[in-house]
Amino acid sequence: MKISTAKEFDTKSDALVVGIFEKDNYRTLPLDLASNITLALKREFFQAKYGEIYFARAVSLPYQKVVVLGLGRRDEFTLEKLRKTIGKTIKTLKSHKLETYTTNLAEICATMFDSTQLGRALAEAHLLGDYSFQNYLNKEKQTKPLVSVSLQFTKEDKPFQEGLRVGIIIAESANYVKDMVNEPASVATPVYIEKAARALAAGNTKIKIRVLEREEMKKEGLGSLLGVSQGSTQPPKLIFLEYQGCKGQPTTALVGKGITFDSGGYNLKPTGYLEDMKSDMAGAAAVLGAIRAISRLGLPRNVLGVIPTCENMVSGGAQRPGDIVRAYNGKTIEITNTDAEGRLILADAISYTEAKYKPAVIIDLATLTGACIIALGYHAAAIITKDQALSQDLIQAGEESGDRLWPLPFFDEYQDCMDGTISDLRNTSGKGRGSEAGAITGAVFISKFVDKARWAHIDIAGPAFLADGNGYTQKGATGFGVRLLTYYCMKG
């Protein structure tokens, strides 16, 4: 979609979309439209409440449709509300087969938000909201994307244009992630992820790539990752994408869970829980998307993307409950449940990364637990860490970007729940019924593989993949994590 800016409405557009705050002045709108809105407000067809949509009559205007959006109270409006409004608008326009529109949404927000942040949010909302996954739909079932939006904006504003530019890169990177996660597991295999990573490195001289194959993992002793992969015919991969944006500065490692299909293994998932498990590589895809965005923005940071990727399958060669594996850091792990596989691949990826690359900060993203969805639902990912400063920075980046985080506690009392009886560790909790505080006990396990680095764990099981779209998201993959990590890295 082409996003352009002009001082006036673009009269060649198919539709005019105007936003109105409750009790706000709309007198600058074309006269015919303003009087129609006055009538609607008087007769209460429309009250300008947040989320309302009114199709106005303004016969003198050159548009096929004139859409009036209620934005609610000005003092309660946020950039996230703006993104959601735009997402809904795009769905409405598409359902009326309108391809171009012009709007005052930038103009009426100009005094409320920082110009760069406003530009970013507008670009993100348009590109994210217009996304659809159509790789397997025939022509009749496909919907056309919007062709263009013309943002009416009277300020000569460089920061606003810069915001648009940044927002476009970030949203395109999130859409790239959605494509990858929406692909079926038969396509998006570990080799597919490796190819995507190689393509990112080939397109940017500041990115170096290294991929550990099964043989090297054996030599290096990554028994925890290898154990998960052993039931699959797909070879496992451990991918390192090194983006150097600032020589001599400390490195931040972003580690993403890349299970391309999670059957549960011998602790097989039942019907109803298996169907969306192609999305169990959403953390890995988000790390690729973040590296894509960060490198295209040329951020002055050193960021290492780490992707352990394999399938969790059942076969005669698959790992059994009760097996004991030895991880890269030497710790032994009893496999008490083959479905708790994400932590097993993250364990080796993290300790290997720390030993070889010595990052100052490690942030892992994983669709780790169903328990996290029970705790928070689909509107936030959980952040679990003892590092309060890191937590605050990430939560702030989440708030600004729309990829929201909510903290779960990491009290000392939890720390022994993964201790083994016949091994150093077990991969599910040995306390109580074993299932209590499942999102936290998963994090406890991972923490045993972090040595000196500052570390935070982000469980994205809820917001990474949705049964229904809303606002500017669609059913399926959301690209969660790209905006979060890129905003975090933009803070310097």
- Chain residues binding Zn ion by CB under 5 A are 259, 262, 280, 339, 341-342
Q: Identify what 152 binds: Zn ion, ligand BES, none; CB under 5 to 8 Å per kind.
A: none
10 Å Cβ neighbour count for 475? 14
Q: Which is nearer to ligand BES, 119 or 462 (CB)?
A: 462
Q: Identify what 336 binds: ligand BES, Zn ion, none; CB under 5 to 8 Å per kind.
A: none
Q: Identify what 461 binds: ligand BES, Zn ion, none; CB under 5 to 8 Å per kind.
A: ligand BES
CB of 435 to Zn ion, least distance (A): 14
In angstroms, the CA 412 to CA 397 distance is 27
Sign of CA dihedral 114, 120, 123, 129: negative
In angstroms, the CA 425 to CA 428 distance is 9
Touching ligand BES, residues 246-275 (CB under 6 A) = 262
Binding mask 408-447 for ligand BES (x = CB under 6 A): --------------------x---------x---------
Of positions 10, 280, 354, 400, contacts ligand BES by CB under 6 A: 280
Contact indicator for 359, 304 with CB cutoff of 8 Å: yes
10 Å Cβ neighbour count for 296? 18
3-class DSSP assignment, residue 364: strand
CB of 338 to ligand BES, least distance (A): 8
Distance of CA 424 to CAs 17, 103, 445, 458, Å?
62, 61, 11, 24
Give the 3-state DSSP-derived string for 391-421, with helices as H, strands as E and coil as C. Answer: HHHHHHHHHHHCCCEEECCCCHHHCCCCECC
Q: Which residue is nearest to ligand BES (CB)?
A: 370
CB of 149 to ligand BES, least distance (A): 34
311 touching ligand BES, by CB under 6 A: no
10 Å Cβ neighbour count for 320? 12
Q: Which is nearer to ligand BES, 329 or 367 (CB)?
A: 367
How many residues at the interface with ligand BES, by CB under 6 A? Answer: 16
CB of 442 to Zn ion, least distance (A): 10
Q: Which is nearer to ligand BES, 56 or 383 (CB)?
A: 383
3-class DSSP assignment, residue 219: helix
Q: Are strands 361-366 and 251-256 parallel, antiparallel or unpaired?
A: parallel
3-class DSSP assignment, residue 425: strand
201 touching ligand BES, by CB under 6 A: no
Longest CA–CA separation in the chain, Å: 81
Q: Which is nearer to Zn ion, 10 or 280 (CB)?
A: 280
Q: Which is nearer to Zn ion, 279 or 401 (CB)?
A: 279
Q: Identify what 337 binds: Zn ion, ligand BES, none; CB under 5 to 8 Å per kind.
A: ligand BES
Q: Which is nearer to ligand BES, 61 or 340 (CB)?
A: 340
Question: Could you give the residue ranges of the DSSP H alpha helices within 110-213?
Answer: 115-129, 158-182, 190-202
Tell me, rounded to whole angstroms, the distance of Cα 394 from its chain centroid. 13
Contact indicator for 129, 90 with CB cutoff of 8 Å: yes
10 Å Cβ neighbour count for 131? 25
461 touching ligand BES, by CB under 6 A: yes
Touching ligand BES, residues 316-375 (CB under 6 A) = 337, 339-342, 367-371, 373
CB of 372 to ligand BES, least distance (A): 8
Q: Which is nearer to ligand BES, 5 or 428 (CB)?
A: 428
CB of 370 to ligand BES, least distance (A): 3
The helix or strand, by DSSP H or E, that contains position 352, with its residue range, turns out to be helix 342-357
Sign of CA dihedral 52, 58, 62, 65: positive
As annotated, the active-site residues are 269, 343
CB of 231 to Zn ion, least distance (A): 12
Q: Return residues touching ligand BES (CB under 6 A).
A: 262, 280, 337, 339-342, 367-371, 373, 428, 438, 461
